[in-house]
């Protein structure tokens, strides 16, 4: 029973390039969440998606960041024109339902390094 899958695990980009991070939720899970963990900081919520819908993107920076969860395929977190401050670990989590005590299970993360 595969858990949450993320790829790539490590991504190096130069300033100004685009970064695409992918997340496949656990089987049977239709709720996806993206979190960012900056060095020496806690995990911060970015966005919550269901299939083909962005439910809450209140934690996303207003510019350069976007997310999608298409009907088919993984969820994508896209960062355009990356800057050094985007260097962080990006974790995706999924759950079967939203809210209540339904557990969010985390993927292994993508470590983005911007040179």
Partner 1 sequence: RKEVEQDPGPFNVPEGATVAFNCTYSNSASQSFFWYRQDCRKEPKLLMSVYSSGNEDGRFTAQLNRASQYISLLIRDSKLSDSATYLCAVENSGGSNYKLTFGKGTLLTVNP
Q: Is 45 in the site for partner 1 (CB under 8 A)?
A: yes
Q: Is 52 in the site for partner 1 (CB under 8 A)?
A: no
What span, in angstroms and rounded, lies between the C-alpha atoms of 10 and 58?
A: 26
Q: Is 106 in the site for partner 1 (CB under 8 A)?
A: yes
Task: Name the burial class of residue 86, with classes exposed (0-12), middle (13-18) and buried (19+) by CB atoms within 10 angstroms of its CB.
Answer: buried
Q: Is 104 in the site for partner 1 (CB under 8 A)?
A: yes
User: Which residue from 60, 52, 15, 62 is spatially nearest to 36, judged by alpha carbons?
Assistant: 60
User: Which residue from 97, 102, 52 is spatially nearest to 73, judged by alpha carbons?
Assistant: 52
Site for partner 1 in 7-36 (CB under 8 A): 31, 33, 35
Q: Is 41 in the site for partner 1 (CB under 8 A)?
A: yes
Q: Is 2 in the site for partner 1 (CB under 8 A)?
A: no
Interface with partner 1 by CB under 8 A: which residues? 31, 33, 35, 41-45, 48, 55-56, 58-59, 89, 91, 93, 95, 98-101, 103-109, 111
């Amino acid at each position: 029973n595969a858990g949450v899958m993320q790829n790539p695990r490590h991504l190096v980009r130069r300033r100004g390039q685009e970064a695409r991070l992918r997340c496949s939720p656990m089987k049977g899970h239709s709720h996806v969440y993206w979190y960012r963990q900056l060095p020496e900081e806690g995990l911060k919520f970015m966005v919550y998606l269901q299939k083909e819908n962005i439910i809450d993107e209140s934690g996303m920076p207003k510019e350069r960041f976007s997310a999608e969860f298409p009907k088919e395929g993984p969820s994508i977190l896209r960062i355009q024109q990356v800057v050094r401050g985007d260097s962080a670990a990006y974790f995706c989590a999924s759950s079967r339902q939203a809210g209540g005590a339904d557990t969010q299970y985390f993927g292994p993360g993508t470590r983005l390094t911007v040179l």
